[in-house]
Amino acid sequence: MEATGTDEVEKIKSKFMSAWHNMKYSWVLKTKTYFSRNSPVFLLGKCYHFKTEGEYRALHSFQSSSAGISTEISGNVEEFRKDFISRIWLTYREEFPQIQGSALTTDCGWGCTLRTGQMLLAQGLMLHFLGRAWVWPEALDMESCDSESWTSSTVRKLTASFEASLTAEREPKVLARPPARRDWDVTESRNEVYHRKIISWFGDSPLAAFGLHQLIEYGKKSGKMAGDWYGPAVVAHILR
């Protein structure tokens, strides 16, 4: 009875902390981003400039001929958007499978550095397997999707499907086979397989190789538990 009572207290505490973190960290204030089109934008070593086509050519010519300046201007607004959307973004999640040894089903408010570490590793893997020049062929198609229309039930269904695919087989076909597209060549199809496989490694599932559950298990060796704040040094050690 005593153990049961303790478990109930922990569950209530976990729910309270989850509600507090959701209230504290989940509010999003939409603001319009302002920047000067006269200034270049750098994204992971690539330089983009949002000038008009004629100005872009003139600037590119100047950049190439200027002594001591080796930065190549990679492209315009659309190319920047493709590159930006192609990066893997990982952030707070909730209602994923319960973390072993705790009642937590969310990392809201405490998993920020773990998510940052995941993104750094994901980018490194993408560079290794796909190269820096790769961009997701369907990147701009995502702009037509309204992320705010994704209800929690929709996300739960997708997560459940992902979890089931991982449980069913070690190399799930649903993740290893790209969608059928007639206009994709062999290289694009192969790259899409790599892209989907890398993403699957970071799923919020106990079976995902670099998922939150696995990182927390390794964190226990450094004295960290689910719900603790993980510093950059600890996260780097866990990933190593």
**pLDDT band (50, 70, 90) for residue 26:** low
Return the structure tokens found at 91.
Answer: 């952030």
Q: Where are the alpha helices (DSSP H) in the chain?
A: 2-25, 53-65, 77-86, 112-129, 152-168, 173-176, 186-200, 212-219, 232-239
Coil, helix or strand for 194? helix
Among 102, 43, 100, 87, which Cα is nearest to 202's? 87
Task: Express as a percent the part of the chain with pLDDT over 90.
Answer: 39
Query: Degrees (nearest 5) of the Cα angle 9, 12, 15?
Result: 150
* Residues in a beta bridge with 43: 46
Pairing of strands 73-75, 46-48: parallel
The single-letter code of the amino acid at 35 is F
**pLDDT score of 98 more than 90:** yes
How confident is the model over 37-48, as pLDDT tens digits?
A: 777 888 998 888
How confident is the model over 153-203, as pLDDT tens digits?
A: 655 666 566 555 554 444 444 444 445 555 567 888 889 999 999 999 999
> Does residue 104 contact residue 228 with C-beta atoms inside 8 Å?
no
**pLDDT score of 211 more than 70:** yes
Query: Degrees (nearest 5) of the Cα angle 198, 202, 208?
Result: 100
The mean per-residue pLDDT over the stretch 206-210 comes to 93
CA distance 217 to 205: 12
How confident is the model over 41-94, as pLDDT tens digits?
A: 889 988 888 765 555 554 554 454 444 444 566 667 888 889 999 999 999 998
The mean per-residue pLDDT over the stretch 9-16 comes to 74
Helices (H) and strands (E) in the chain, counts: 9, 3
